[in-house]
Each structure stands twice: as C-alpha cells, then as structure tokens.
Amino acid sequence: MTTQTPKGLWRLLDVLLDCSVFGAYTHIGYLFRKRFFDPKDIPEDLSGLDIMVTGANAGLGFATTKALARRGAHVIMACRNASRAESARDAILQEHPDANISVEIVDVSVLADVRRCCTRLKETHTKLDVLVHNAGVLLDERRHTQEGFELTFATNVLGPFLMTQELLPLLQAAPQGRVVQVTSGGMYTQRLDLKALQHPPDPFDGVVAYAQTKRAEVDLTQQWSARLKDTKIIVNCMHPGWADTPGVTSSLPTFSKLLKPLLRSPEAGADTIIWLAAAHSAAQHQGKLFLDRAPKPTQFLTRTNTPPERQQALWTCCTELIQSTLSKDEHTHQNERNITL
C-alpha cells in the first residue's frame, strides 16, 4: 500500500467493492485486499501441525493442501477417490519432495464412511490441529446417497457436521484446534428453510439447493462456535469469492466461460482458508464469516437472517438424522462416548 493514500480512502474503496459483488468476488477484490495482508501473519514453518483437508485433490482443496504442506504441516488429504488423491499427492511431492502428506479415503456424503474414517484417525493420531471442510458439490439434478439423503445436503452439511462431531476429541487434544468451513457467497441469497434444505422442491434447482446448504454451513459454524466456547477449539467459515476450479467449470459452465478472465486463481480463492487454518491473528476470531482475511456480515438482507430458534432446529435436525443412521448397538456406544454439546 502506498503511504500517501489516506487509510479512509482505502476503507471506502473496500466498502464499495463489497457493495459490488462483482468487484469483491473476482480477482479484482483479491488483488485490492491483498495489499492489506500482513506477510508475517501465516508462519513460514508449520511443522508439527496436523491438518485435514476434505476434497483435497482438486480446486481450492488442492491449493490449500499444497500451501500448507509446503510450509511443513502434515496434511491429511481426505478424498473419495484413491487414484485422484494419489495423483494430486504425487503432483505436490514433485514440487515439494519433503512434504508430509497422507491420504485418507472418505466419501463425506456417506455417514458410515465418515464414521469409519474418523475411527481410523482416532486410532492413528493423538491430535488434529485443523479440520478444513472444503469438499462440496453443486448438482444439476436431484441425487440421493445410499443412506437416502439428498446428495448436496449430505455432502455439504450432514457429512461435515458428523465429521466435526467425531473428531472433537482429536481437536480438543491439539493446543488450539481450529475448524474451517468453506461456504459460498451464494448463501446471501437464501433464508434457511429446513424442509427445502433436506428435500429441495421440484423442479430441482441445483443452485438454490447448493445455496441453502451454504447458508446452513454458516448457521452451523455459529452453533458450533457457541457450543464450543468453553473449549480451546475455534470454528470459523469463509467464502472464497469466485475461483477458477474444476468444480466451477463443470457446475457453472456459462458463468465460468463468461467470467474466466476475472475469476480468482485457486490459490487466491484458498488464501483465506490457509489464513484461518494457520495465521496467528486468525486465532482471535470465533464463529465468524470471512472473505479475503476480513470478517464479513452473514446477511445483507434482513429476510435472510436465521433466528436463533431456527439455528437450534437445524442443529437438532442434523443430530437426529445422524442418529437415525446408527444401528441399536452403535447408538448405545455413541451415547456413552458423546461429548455433551
């Protein structure tokens, strides 16, 4: 930042960028705000940290994994496809041969799979410093998981909710556990509707179904953060703006083609994930939404506000759906070891 320009002017420009979604979410917004970043905020040496990133083999998850592993963190790539995961890992190792990366195969939309993965992790790890919920889908048709849940909801909300719950003991064992949820600016358009969230209405609109789940992610971030306030764990969410990733190209082909020159790189989109996972200053925040390392409001329209009782109902809904997939034995076992939240 040049020293001659008054701070107030930069602040005004930042507010104007926020008002124009286009400016804030594209590469323009990132380039502008990058000038305010403290280069020393994210330590260059992250060795000793254990960080799990879901959907780590492509797009923002891949950029996040690479940046954290380059700094020496042990990154667990949680991916659903073994060969895609291994190729991504190999690509990072080619550039950074000393990177400490392991692979966990998990389909985050399948609760039984999430449970198996978390059990394995609890057997093999003593702590988890950071859990990044990055995996996400935007579908063009209605699909269901083998457990009967609508796939957008299962991938973006239910699986990550269960994963956080299951990994709490490992997060609590870390000096300061962090959970980072990757949401989307699309959630600003939605008021949480529990029925539509679980059963998107006909005709299926993938963009609306996606935005409902992204609104739910923000509400659950606030719920987790309130419920964990007496622990060392901090929970925040971020949205990456619009980044050029395989997901955007395949789910929103026209948008992607039209905006291609202005889309952020995956590295720019992932910057705030990395910051929330590892920066010193990020540790001061709890239950907030970020874009470009700065807290942002969770709604611009009052009609999209989620009242506390609806947030609570969302929490109860996720808890009950998760319990409904347990066998009787598992149910008893789960109740015995559940951390009261």
User: Which chain residues interact with ligand NAP by CB under 6 A?
Assistant: 54-55, 57-61, 79-81, 84, 107-109, 134-137, 155, 182, 184, 239-240, 242-243, 245-248, 269
Which CB, 58 or 99, lies closer to ligand NAP? 58
Instruction: Compute the radius of gyration of the chain from its Cα atoms.
Output: 19
Helix%, strand%, coil% for the chain, nearest 5 = 55, 10, 35
Residue 225 CB, shortest distance to ligand NAP, in Å, is 19
Output 172 or 299, the one with its CB closest to ligand NAP.
Answer: 299
For the bound state, the minimum distance from the C-beta of residue 336 to ligand NAP, rounded and expressed in Å, comes to 28
Tell me whether residue 142 or residue 232 sits nearer to ligand NAP (CB atom): 142
Spell out the alpha helix ranges (H) of the chain. 7-19, 21-25, 27-34, 59-70, 82-95, 111-124, 151-153, 159-173, 194-198, 206-227, 246-251, 253-259, 266-278, 308-324, 328-337
Q: Is 224 helix (H, G, I), strand (E, B) or coil?
A: helix
CB 148, min distance to ligand NAP, A = 15
For tokens 């600003």, name the residue: 188
Helix 159-173 crosses helix 308-324 at what angle (to 10 degrees)? 90
The answer to whether residues 219 and 314 touch, using CB atoms and an 8 Å cutoff, is yes
Instruction: Tell me, yes or no, if 25 is annotated catalytic.
Output: no
Closest to ligand NAP by CB, 34 vs 331, is 34
For ligand NAP, which is the closer residue by CB, 87 or 312? Answer: 87
Residue type, position 175, single letter? P
- The smaller minimum CB distance to ligand NAP, of residues 12 and 31, is found at 31
- Nearest-approach distance from CB 281 to ligand NAP, in angstroms: 22
> Are residues 181 and 136 in contact, defined by beta-carbon separation less than 8 angstroms?
no
Q: CB count, 10 Å around CB of 153?
A: 25
> Residue 119 burial (CB < 10 Å; 0-12/13-18/19+)?
exposed
**Distance set, CA 313 to CA 66, 83, 168, 223 (Å):** 37, 39, 21, 11
Alpha-carbon distance of 177 to 172, in angstroms, equals: 6
> Least distance to ligand NAP from the beta carbon of 54, Å?
6
171 vs 270, beta carbon nearer ligand NAP:
270
The CA distance from 74 to 235, in Å, is 20
Q: How far is the CB of 130 from ligand NAP (least distance, A)?
A: 16
Under DSSP, the state recorded for 100 is E
> CB of 240: closest distance to ligand NAP in angstroms?
5
Active-site pick, 25, 30, 188, 210: 210
Q: Active-site residue numbers?
A: 210
